[in-house]
Amino acid sequence: MAEETRNRSIRVLIGTVGGQGGGVLSDWLVRGLLNAGWQPQSIGLLGLSQRAGTVIYYIEANQEGDTPPILSPFAVPGDVDLILAQEFLELGRLLQGGFAAKDFSIIANTYRYLGTLEKMPAEGGIFSSEEIRNAAETLSDNTWLFHAQNMVTEAGLSYLSSNAILMGAVIASPAFGLPAEPFHQAIRDAGSNVED
User: Tens digits of per-residue pLDDT, 124-140?
Assistant: 677 778 999 999 999 99
The answer to whether residue 196 sits within a structural domain is: no
Q: Are 100 and 75 in contact (CB under 8 A)?
A: no
The answer to whether residue 3 sits within a structural domain is: no
CA distance 11 to 80: 5
The answer to whether residue 195 sits within a structural domain is: no
**What is the separation of C-alpha 145 from the centre of its chain, rounded to a whole number of angstroms?**
12
Which CATH number characterizes residue 99's domain?
3.40.920.10
The pLDDT score that the predictor gives to residue 95 is: 94
The answer to whether residue 1 sits within a structural domain is: no
pTM of the model as a whole = 0.85
The pLDDT score that the predictor gives to residue 45 is: 84
The pLDDT score that the predictor gives to residue 114 is: 67
The answer to whether residue 27 sits within a structural domain is: yes
The answer to whether residue 41 sits within a structural domain is: yes
The answer to whether residue 2 sits within a structural domain is: no
Non-local (6+) Cβ contacts of 40 within 8 A are: 10, 29, 30, 33, 34, 59, 60, 61
Average pLDDT, the chain: 84
- Domain hosting residue 180, numbered range: 8-190
How do residues 55-88 score in pLDDT, each as one tens digit? Answer: 899 999 998 877 777 788 888 899 999 999 998 8
> How many domains would you assign to the chain?
1
